[in-house]
A = this chain, B = another copy of it.
Amino acid sequence: MRDIHLVPVSYFPSENLEFPMITNLQTITPNPLFYVRNHFEYPAIDINTWYLSIEELVSQPLKFTYADLKNMNKVTLSATLECAGNKRSLFEKKAQGNQFKLGAISNAIWGGVRLKDVLVQAGVSPSATEIVFEGLDYGQRNDMDGQVFFERSLPVAKALHPDTLLAYEMNGEPLSDKHGFPIRLIVPGWYAIASVKWLHRIRVVDQPFKGPFQSIDYVILKKENDYNHALPLSPVLINSTIASPTEEEEMAVGTNLVEGYAWAGENSVTKVEISTDGGTLWAEANILDPDVPYSWRRWSFAWDSQEPGPYTIKSKATNDRGEVQPLKAEWNVKGYQNNSIHAVNVHVISPNLVNSVLH
């Protein structure tokens, strides 16, 4: 009888919806619950006229129809996509932009073709340094005149990686309009801004790409407007989220489950530790999923909480390179890459409270 809803963050000018982190743990996010992050209005696409164009520093510019791509060698892989602004609202000092909480992240099985298979057909020039991906979504930005298409670039090496996909399927279904039909670039292990939706043009270039979604947004700015020192986003950082209990939740005395997700981008999650005393003592959680590259792992911890009172529960993940979540991720102007140890305050309630108050 529950209606499981996406969590709206904004509807205008573009629709942004979080995965409901408070629902039951699920390794594969069902398509209707996969988070939605847009920068513009949804584009209208006619699949009969759509094609994917490979242009500029290539031996042979090429155009691929939807049928062309579906006739190529198909691969599937699981990948967690996380918005770089996930947990932005958890920074103590507020950062501008959509106030994402815990759910700007989801996990799916992507089906499609390797990007390198189309790039190799076109023949990438040896002088190429970056590949620029243009979506069909466009519109106006607050910070410039005119209209722009959504564009992002990748270094050639990541573009040619065999796990970088041109996806036309999401969990076995054709990609939906909201998730980038007909083709979404999937860049496993990188913040999801790289995974361009509604892809229609790929340009091979030999200059650093400077579009506003590459140079103004999605950069790490330590000081307001200090774009001379802006740093690019790193690959997805080691991170974990406590899905249950939730902030300020009241719980019964007894054994309560603490559970959630941990992810590590291009690396592997090797350990998740839980503290129920605010971070002094730590115990290992059970990891519930196998180590699948690029994919989050569910974890669970049975907390024996016999004593009523307030508690701060924390989760801390470690990856196979020994990297551990920091107590506090470094604040940045735009609020990206928040991988602080996740803390949730809860209240364990005495089973005798009503009796003691009323009798």
Contact = CB atoms under 8 A, between A and B. Distances in A.
B247 A94 contact: yes
Interface string A1-20: 11111111111100101001
A17 to B, nearest CB: 7
A2 B17 CA distance: 10
Given A8-B4, A99-B247, A357 B227 contact: yes
Given A143-B354, A227-B357, A354-B143, A94 B17 contact: no
A42 B247 CA distance: 23
Nearest to A248: B96
A349 interface: yes
Nearest to A224: B310
A349 B247 contact: no
A15 B144 CA distance: 43
Given A7-B8, A345-B94, A350 B143 contact: yes
Contact of A143 (B5, B15, B143, B351): B351
Contacts of A9: 22
Contacts of A97: 248, 250
A129 interface: no
A326 interface: no
Contacts of A17: 3, 5
Nearest to A252: B142
A141 to B, nearest CB: 7
A210 interface: yes
A60 interface: no
Copies in the complex: 2
Contacts of A1: 15, 42, 177
B11 A4 contact: yes
A350 to B, nearest CB: 6
Interface string A275-319: 000000000000000000000000000000000001000000000
Interface string A205-243: 000001010011000000001010000000000000000
Contact of A216 (B99, B145, B345, B357): B357
A355 interface: yes
Nearest to A346: B96
Given A6-B5, A247-B94, A144 B353 contact: yes
Interface string A166-185: 00000000000100000000
A57 B248 CA distance: 41
A345 B216 CA distance: 21
A95 interface: yes
Given A7-B5, A349-B143, A246 B99 contact: yes
Nearest to A357: B227
Interface of A: 1-12, 15, 17, 20, 22-23, 42, 89, 94-99, 141-145, 177, 210, 212, 215-216, 225, 227, 244, 246-253, 310, 345, 347, 349-355, 357-358
7 residue pairs, one from A and one from B, having the closest CB atoms: A143-B353, A144-B354, A142-B349, A142-B252, A5-B5, A227-B357, A96-B347
Given A4-B8, A143-B351, 13 more contacts: A1-B42, A3-B6, A7-B7, A8-B20, A10-B246, A11-B22, A96-B250, A96-B310, A144-B351, A144-B352, A144-B354, A225-B353, A227-B357
24 contacts: A1-B15, A1-B42, A2-B11, A5-B7, A5-B17, A8-B22, A9-B22, A10-B249, A96-B250, A96-B347, A97-B250, A99-B246, A141-B354, A142-B253, A143-B353, A143-B354, A144-B352, A144-B354, A144-B355, A145-B351, A212-B354, A212-B358, A225-B353, A227-B357
